[in-house]
């Protein structure tokens, strides 16, 4: 089933999760086990990342197929283009189509260190990848958006202009980069709607359960952590179990606020942590029924 059909059907609250492939083939079984436990929570869908620089991409289709075919949960396969040639991208799209995968998240992705970019044999922008996917199958196509602005764009107006270009190329829905202040998300929604971007937007929520994870998230995304969250880190950062519990509570609070303000679809960056995913779903057990 196409994810956009889920998003457009009724007022039901839908929670989705994300997993990532292992760095080596030896880790596949462990990731599959975590994925099975997340699927048991009955999410709307599970997305599978392409790996940093596309390095673990060969297992993306395998895991996405397992989710859809064996676990009976819809899957969303990530596809990045910066690290792959156009021919390699076309092969991945063909492979996903052959497996019956109907949903692709189209991303430019990080540029591998030391690799010349752009080059003629690679797609330069995500909108070009969206166009390519559209030409090669009847897929539901998702894309990323950045409530705090993309790190490569100096002006937010440019960021929204490029986002509209990407949506106009054939994007069905958007998922935001992680954010930790919901007011940033609400303001972003207002600005993109004013710009004529009307596709569904899923807020991406990252449960931060350790000080190391927070540092890594800041380095990757440049996101702003509000004072309230920094106070939690200062108080509990040196106590792993307390920080885990506080991080889950903070993410839950974000989700409840979003739902209370009319958001129906939430994507959680669960990071192969079924215990974290289960704790959040437990906190929302009655809310998602409302």
CATH number, residue 74:
3.20.20.220
The reply to whether 18 belongs to the active site is yes
User: What is the Cα 204 distance to its own chain's centre?
Assistant: 6
pLDDT of the residue at 208: 93
Domain hosting residue 55, numbered range? 3-289
Cβ count near 184 (within 10 Å): 17
Please tell me what DSSP assigns to residue 190.
H
Contacts of 84 (CB under 8 A, 6+ apart): 54, 57, 92, 122
Dihedral in degrees, nearest 10, Cα atoms 53, 56, 61, 67 = -120
Distance between CA 240 and CA 233 in Å, rounded? 11
pTM of model > 0.85: yes
Cβ count near 135 (within 10 Å): 10
Distance between CA 1 and CA 100 in Å, rounded? 10
Distance between CA 40 and CA 42 in Å, rounded? 5
Cross-strand pairs, 45: 74
Number of domains in the chain: 1
Give, for all 290 residues of the chain, the pLDDT tens digit. Answer: 999 999 998 889 999 999 999 888 788 999 999 999 999 999 999 999 996 555 557 799 999 999 999 999 999 999 999 888 999 999 999 999 999 999 999 999 887 777 777 888 899 999 999 999 999 999 999 999 999 986 665 566 788 999 999 999 999 999 999 999 999 999 999 999 999 999 999 999 999 999 888 877 776 667 888 999 999 999 999 999 999 999 999 999 999 999 999 999 999 999 899 999 999 999 999 999 88
| Torsion sign (Cα): 122, 78, 139, 162 | negative
Cross-strand pairs, 176: 145
Of 18, 128, 132, 148, which is the active-site residue? 18
What are the Cα distances from residue 52, in Å, to 63, 81, 90, 107? 16, 12, 19, 12
């Amino acid at each position: 089933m196409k994810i956009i059909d889920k998003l457009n059907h009724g007022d039901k609250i839908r929670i989705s999760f994300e997993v990532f492939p292992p760095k080596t083939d030896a880790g596949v079984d462990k990731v599959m086990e975590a994925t099975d436990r997340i699927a048991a929570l009955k999410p709307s869908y599970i997305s599978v990342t392409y790996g940093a620089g596309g390095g673990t991409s060969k297992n993306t289709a395998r895991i996405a197929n397992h989710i859809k075919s064996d676990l009976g949960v819809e899957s969303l396969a990530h596809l990045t283009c910066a690290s792959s040639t156009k021919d390699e991208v076309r092969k991945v799209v063909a492979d996903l189509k052959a497996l019956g995968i109907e949903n692709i998240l189209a991303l430019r992705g990080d540029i591998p260190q030391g690799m010349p970019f752009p080059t003629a044999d690679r797609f330069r922008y995500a909108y070009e990848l969206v166009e390519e996917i559209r030409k090669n199958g009847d897929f539901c196509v998702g894309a990323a958006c950045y409530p705090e602005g993309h790190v490569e764009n100096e002006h937010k107006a440019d960021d929204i202009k490029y986002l509209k270009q990407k949506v106009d190329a054939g994007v069905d829905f958007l998922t935001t980069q992680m954010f930790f202040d919901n007011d940033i998300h609400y303001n972003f929604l207002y600005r993109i709607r004013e710009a004529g971007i009307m596709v569904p937007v899923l807020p991406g929520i990252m449960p931060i359960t350790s000080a190391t994870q927070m540092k890594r998230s800041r380095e990757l995304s440049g996101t702003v952590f509000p004072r309230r969250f920094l106070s939690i880190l200062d108080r509990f950062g040196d106590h792993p179990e307390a920080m885990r519990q506080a991080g889950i509570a903070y993410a839950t609070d974000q989700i409840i606020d979003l739902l209370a303000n009319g958001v129906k679809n939430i994507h959680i960056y669960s990071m192969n942590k079924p215990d974290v995913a289960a704790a959040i779903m437990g906190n929302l057990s009655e809310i998602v029924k409302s």
